Structure 1
């Protein structure tokens, strides 16, 4: 990574921390440059303005969340996970009665019954 790339990364990390702690609206560019340790001139060379910086921080957050979600989904559908599900009887959805007779014979849970007087 180039020096400019490292400075840009430092600014983005500082912006992410400050925006998370205070909100993007509450953080000024002067506070951000102090936190990142760069001059205001350099900050504006890296980003056209605060809006561009906020957009970049949000884009990176979205990418991180999407990557973590996809990783979870892939892990949850591995053969090992599926064999664990079948060996423990774990289901993704509750079993549903297939016939009207079976549905009518399903007991009502105690919390759903009317109170007796």
Structure 2
């Protein structure tokens, strides 16, 4: 299913916070592991909708980045959800390329286990 088809049935407005950003959590659609978290604004969400692949806003570089443009780790959107307050987003994706989400080379950005 194309991402624009998923968008047709959206019945809520995403609440972008004070800085006009919302956290976007990215999860593998098949394995269900959490791959990463990045930030989106309205334009990043529009671009994601337009191309069907994840586009984020980089707070440090102050620019948009299409995940996979340089790494080849493109993330194609399968489904997406908003939380109960519509201020955080969850995207289910399928990765193309080396199956690496993190800039460190790890599959997931969530590899640092914390002690209790």
Higher Cα Rg, which structure: 1
Greater share of residues in helix: 1
Larger RCO: 1 or 2 (CA < 8 Å, sep 6+): 2
Does the alignment reach a TM-score above 0.5?
A: no
| Structure-2-length-normalised TM-score | 0.24
Q: What TM-score does the superposition give when structure 1 sets the normalisation length?
A: 0.24
